[in-house]
């Protein structure tokens, strides 16, 4: 069910880019920063304000992997699926996360704490296998180490809620 988003939050972005052609991606990036994902009503609002057909906006939003059309958990786990990580058994890390949290690529835990996303190379190949959670990179992972990191975050997450 779609909830209503606070459209006033995106206004500064829209006025910044009002006269700059070709800024759709930048506007959507800013919108995602604000709302955590791209809610439908926000995209419709951008469409009206920036005078870009909604079909074009959806086309761009679905083309790039950065954009999300669904809300994500508090912690977004970006598990690197690059070549070096693959060679260094990132598959075992993926299995450990799935086993620990019960979510697969693209899914969010029921408590809304974690979302798992497989991503292309994070560029920290010499520390592979690698994952990034909320901007922090964790390298040289083993299944055990991964579980411990997740448990620690879950404990912290519980306190703030």
Partner 1 sequence: MRVIVGKGSCGIAAGANDVYDRLQALSEETPCPGTELGITGCIGMCFLEPIVDIYPNPREEDCLRLVHVQESDAEAIWHAICEDDLGSLDHLKIKQEDEEFLNQQTRIALRNCGVIDPEKLEDYTARGGYRSLWRILKKNITPEEVIHEIDVAGLRGRGGAGFSTAFKWQAARNAPGEEKYLICNADEGDPGAFMDRAVIEGDPHSLLEGMLIGAYAIGAKEGIVYVRAEYPLAIVRLKKAIEDATAAGYLGDNIMGSDFSCRIRIKAGAGAFVCGEETALIESLEGKRGMPRLKPPFPAQEGYWHKPSNINNVETFANVAWIMKNGGEAFAAMGTKNSKGTKVFALTGKIKRGGLVEIPMGRTLRDVIFGIGGGIRGGAAFKAVQLGGPSGGCVPAARLDTQIDYNELVITGAIMGSGGMVVMDESTCMVNMARFFLDFTTKESCGKCIHCRLGTKRMKEILDRIVEGKGEEGDLEKLEELCNAVKDGALCGLGNTAPNPVLTTLRYFRREFEAHIREHRCPAGECRALISYSIDPDKCIGCTACARQCPVSAIRGEVKKIHEIDPELCIKCGNCKTACRFDAVKVR
Question: Using CB under 8 A, which of 9, 15, 16, 64 touches partner 1?
Answer: 64
Residues 5-34 that bind partner 1 (CB under 8 A): 21-26, 28-29
Contacts 24+ apart (CB under 8 A), 33-40: 34/9, 34/10, 35/5, 35/9, 36/68, 36/71, 36/72, 37/68, 37/69, 37/70, 37/71, 37/72, 38/67, 38/68, 38/69, 39/2, 39/3, 39/5, 40/2, 40/69
Nearer to partner 1, 15 or 63 (CB): 63
Q: Does 55 bind partner 1 (CB under 8 A)?
A: no
Nearer to partner 1, 6 or 44 (CB): 44
- Contact residues for partner 1, defined by CB under 8 A: 21-26, 28-29, 56, 59-60, 63-67, 81-84, 86-89, 92, 95, 99, 119-128, 130, 135, 137-139, 142-144
């Amino acid at each position: 069910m779609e909830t209503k988003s606070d459209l006033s939050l995106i206004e500064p972005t829209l006025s910044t880019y009002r006269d700059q052609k070709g800024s759709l991606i930048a506007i959507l990036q800013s919108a995602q920063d604000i709302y955590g994902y791209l809610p439908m009503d926000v995209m419709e609002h951008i469409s009206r304000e920036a005078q870009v057909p909604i079909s074009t906006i959806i086309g761009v939003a679905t083309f790039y992997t950065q954009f999300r059309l669904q809300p994500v958990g508090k912690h977004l786990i970006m598990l690197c699926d690059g070549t070096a990580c693959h060679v260094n058994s990132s598959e075992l890390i993926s299995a450990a996360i799935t086993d620990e949290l019960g979510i697969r690529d693209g899914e969010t835990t029921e408590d809304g704490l974690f979302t798992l996303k497989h991503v292309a190379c994070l560029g920290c190949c010499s520390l592979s296998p690698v994952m990034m959670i909320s901007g922090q990179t964790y390298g040289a992972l083993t299944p055990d180490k991964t579980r411990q990191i997740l448990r620690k975050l879950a404990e912290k997450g519980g306190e703030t809620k």
